[in-house]
A and B are shown apart, each in its own frame.
Chain A
């Protein structure tokens, strides 16, 4: 298939998933902080949420304080925030529109409706009660992913949608662990805030209830992180997402390509490795290594399937082979 089309499908799925993730993380923080004690704690928590998406500097140019109203506005609407929900949804729609003829009508309608909902939302209301918009974005994302699964012919276009979605999901789970693990680790086991942090982390990845079923209500940092990193049952665990990427890449270009090997190495490390040092700073460091690995995979996919430079290089190979034959 055309590189441009593959790239647009990939990014449509990625931006829809990112919009959902930003919304869920905001939702979880919003609710957790209704229980928090001091204003300082709350400000700290809001700052960590902003920093999780790596644009803290831009935030400080736009706002003086970290509070519910400012951070909610920043994460949902602010034009200076490249990961704002409104930005993600607009970009998802633009990418989908560029390949309107290649996706099902239902998928287009799902993206377009999500865009219309976000665009027509009352931007001042969420500070008083943002639940409605959280729910609408989450439902819109689920509708898109559901229609993609239900209406797309299984082939390259479908695999590029899955690849975008799963890479984004893996990325978010790692960022969520990086943002909360060290805080929980630093607190005394009897401090109720520690348990609250870990519950928030699980909820950020839609993993609370399955975790409790399996491990009960004793929340310890290490088991929670382990679960989110390598549980094969959790759909948002990093291992689950990366395995789905392996499957998609293998279906696109065979199971022996360099991208599959890269992904496979990362999966093996996750599956058989362990967090040797469970201290907060060490795990945060590990998460940053993992993020770099996921970023590298994204780059490898871009080079292999979307970028002209790589394509021109393959042309050189083809010509070389032709000359040898002739």
Chain B
């Protein structure tokens, strides 16, 4: 293949054969190709593979992958009254590749960030130095819907609040990794990460040979070790996974993780509290529970402490927790640290608690509580992305460049009325990655959600994470609830 520079509107220079022919770069940072249109070194083997592949080859592999997912029972099970169709989860075959040096920086950055966030939570619910030293305005914390006064003065087992964290990373137009948001309550998606790898190992086994991809399939064991390390009693701990039940959209993941860890998956009605101890109801009697990996939100955990109408929870659970007889992972009240209004302060937290410079930067963020920032946001709303601080999954959001005058006016009114509820960010030109869309490879925007496990002794991160991809060219929304898909993520040795 002859190497030649292209001057035409951003078509990748060497992309002249096989599936990759005519691949358009436009003006975005592309993971596979550099700005000159040449494949980056760590993508060369994949690039050559795709150059030699026909559409029929790839479609055959897609069919094999789908058959694999179906026979393994992997998918979103849609429990409806009319049909019990299992939808195969949206998945793209082309892997995303991260070189070792990039990953080691990400890993350092994530470890640092999660340590700081855990220290922040400990501080918020104890001495509150972060307020007295003027790092974070106290009203932002006390005004958060996710602040839990029940946690004040309570020492969580092992000193860990966010045992499982999902940190969403994006790359900007220069390829810099930036933190878009932290998820410290019940982050999901790890089963898609593991399933994508299983599928890719079958479909691209020779590429795995060529590349040296770091393994991820020990995640369930790491999670199990993490949960065991924070058990309140010094015996072989009984761990259970608490799910809202089969109707929850992430139930597949709950059941998958429970089976992989060899622990019981329970609903609230399977547990009961007597004398501040938590038990499972089994056919052999009651068994005391030490650690609950809960995938139920704070609000629904205990009808005596939080929402009274909740039937998902366990009456008395908070008392048992505060008595130190059971560990909840994640801890109650972690939502105060992944609040979008707190997010702009994380870099200062890292400096304050760890006396280090942040390894990974935030996306620049305007705080609507700050008068200057607010004025800027109101004036430049058309160039910004406005986000409600208490919503996620792509809801409660205004993308200025794609909005109507009426929508912008509505958001301006909301910002003026309740500035605490909004932050704004410049639109990030997310990096793109070749993705199979409508029978050809197109550049689609991606992000990356690594999963960070924090135990009593150590922080563990399996190399990679869930790469989410928009499945429509041009779309910036990668959430699966909004039509996004997932990719396998290869961190190289």
Contact = CB atoms under 8 A, between A and B. Distances in A.
Interface of A: 1-4, 6, 97-98, 100-101, 105, 112, 156, 160, 252-253, 304-306, 308, 311-312, 314-315, 318
Contact of A315 (B73, B259, B286): B286
Q: Which 7 pairs between the two chains have the least Cβ-Cβ distance?
A: A314-B285, A3-B281, A305-B283, A101-B255, A6-B283, A315-B286, A311-B286
26 contacts: A1-B283, A2-B270, A2-B282, A3-B282, A3-B283, A4-B267, A4-B270, A6-B283, A97-B246, A100-B246, A156-B283, A160-B283, A253-B283, A304-B283, A305-B283, A308-B281, A311-B272, A311-B279, A312-B274, A314-B285, A314-B286, A315-B274, A315-B279, A315-B285, A315-B286, A318-B286
B282 A1 contact: yes
Given A2-B264, A308-B272, A311-B285, A105 B279 contact: no
Contacts of B280: 2
A97 B77 CA distance: 11
Contacts of B406: none
A100 B73 CA distance: 12
Contacts of A1: 282-283
Q: Which of B265, B279, B281 counts the most A-chain CB atoms under 10 A from its CB? A: B281
A252 B283 contact: yes
B169 interface: no
Given A3-B281, A4-B270, A315-B274, 9 more contacts: A1-B282, A2-B266, A2-B282, A100-B77, A252-B283, A305-B283, A311-B272, A311-B281, A315-B279
Contacts, number: 54
Nearest to A315: B286
Interface of B: 73, 77, 79, 84, 246, 255, 259, 264-267, 269-270, 272, 274, 279-286
Contacts of A312: 272, 274, 286
Q: Which of A2, A4, A252, A305 counts the most B-chain CB atoms under 10 A from its CB? A: A2
A311 B269 CA distance: 13
B249 to A, nearest CB: 15
Nearest to B252: A101
Contacts of A305: 283
A4 B265 CA distance: 11
Q: Which of B73, B255, B269, B284 counts the most A-chain CB atoms under 10 A from its CB? A: B284
Contacts of B73: 105
A176 B236 CA distance: 53
A97 B79 contact: yes
A251 B282 CA distance: 16
Nearest to A310: B285
A101 B279 CA distance: 22
A4 B246 contact: no
Contacts of B279: 311, 315
A98 B272 CA distance: 19
A253 B286 CA distance: 14
A6 B264 CA distance: 13
Contacts of B77: 100
A82 B259 CA distance: 36
Contacts of A308: 272, 281
A156 B255 CA distance: 19
A253 B282 CA distance: 12
Nearest to B283: A305
Contacts of A3: 270, 281-283
A37 B282 CA distance: 56
B271 to A, nearest CB: 10
Contacts of A2: 264, 266, 270, 280-283
A253 B285 CA distance: 11
